[in-house]
């Protein structure tokens, strides 16, 4: 059974609930929409021509991408799916569902502007005390591993120290002194 609300108590007319009612007042999605509404997007909106099918407003697509980055959703396919599954993404997309090709093309076309605007959103969040900054480090160390069954050791065998004997013999157990 679907969740419906009454428009007028005197009528039998029912409407589905608004996405706006589903989202708490101090939710991150509301913050993203509000901050992006205050950004200067003329560089993006000026790039659109008046011909062809109606396109999504850059605020909507930028909001999806920024909120996606903030919540760990980076893939354009996952962003599209989230506009169906997540109330927060539905709120940002105004209950619309841009497809993954549209999101990916927007990101590719306006990558430099998105980076600049994302930094502006983070700056506003820091000024308002919404953002908690920390240090994130990625280690790109690559270690060669040999996982063949011939080099695998049992726990007991691995617990014994190994030494290199004079004469070049390796991986030998130390001689017991008995």
Instruction: Flag residues of the chain having pLDDT under 50.
Output: 1-2, 4, 6-7, 163-165
Domain enclosing residue 20, as ranges? 5-128
Whether 14 maps to a domain, the answer reads: yes
Whether 93 maps to a domain, the answer reads: yes
pLDDT score of 141: 75
Q: Are 153 and 166 in contact (CB under 8 A)?
A: no
Q: What is the pTM of this model?
A: 0.65
Whether 172 maps to a domain, the answer reads: no
Whether 176 maps to a domain, the answer reads: no
Q: Are 83 and 18 in contact (CB under 8 A)?
A: no
Whether 155 maps to a domain, the answer reads: no
Q: For residue 172, give the DSSP letter.
A: B
Residue 116 tokens read as 């600049």
pLDDT score of 1: 42
pLDDT score of 47: 80
Nearest CA among 109, 98, 108 for reference residue 53? 98
**Number of domains composing the chain:** 1
């Amino acid at each position: 059974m679907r969740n419906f609300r009454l428009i007028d108590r005197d009528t039998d007319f029912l409407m589905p609930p608004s996405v706006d009612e589903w989202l708490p007042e101090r939710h991150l999605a509301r913050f993203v929409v509000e901050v992006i509404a205050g950004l200067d997007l003329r560089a993006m909106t000026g790039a659109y021509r008046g011909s062809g099918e109606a396109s999504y407003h850059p605020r909507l697509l930028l909001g999806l991408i920024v909120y996606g980055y903030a919540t760990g959703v980076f893939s354009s396919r996952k962003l599209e799916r989230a506009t169906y599954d997540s109330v927060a993404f539905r709120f940002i997309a105004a209950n619309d569902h841009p497809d993954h090709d549209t999101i990916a093309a927007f990101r590719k076309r306006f990558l430099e502007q998105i980076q600049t605007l994302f930094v502006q959103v983070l700056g506003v969040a820091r000024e308002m005390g919404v953002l908690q900054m920390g240090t994130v480090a990625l280690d790109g160390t690559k270690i060669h591993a040999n996982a063949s069954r011939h080099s695998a050791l049992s726990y007991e065998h691995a617990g014994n120290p190994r030494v290199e004997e004079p004469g070049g013999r390796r991986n030998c157990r130390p001689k017991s002194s008995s």
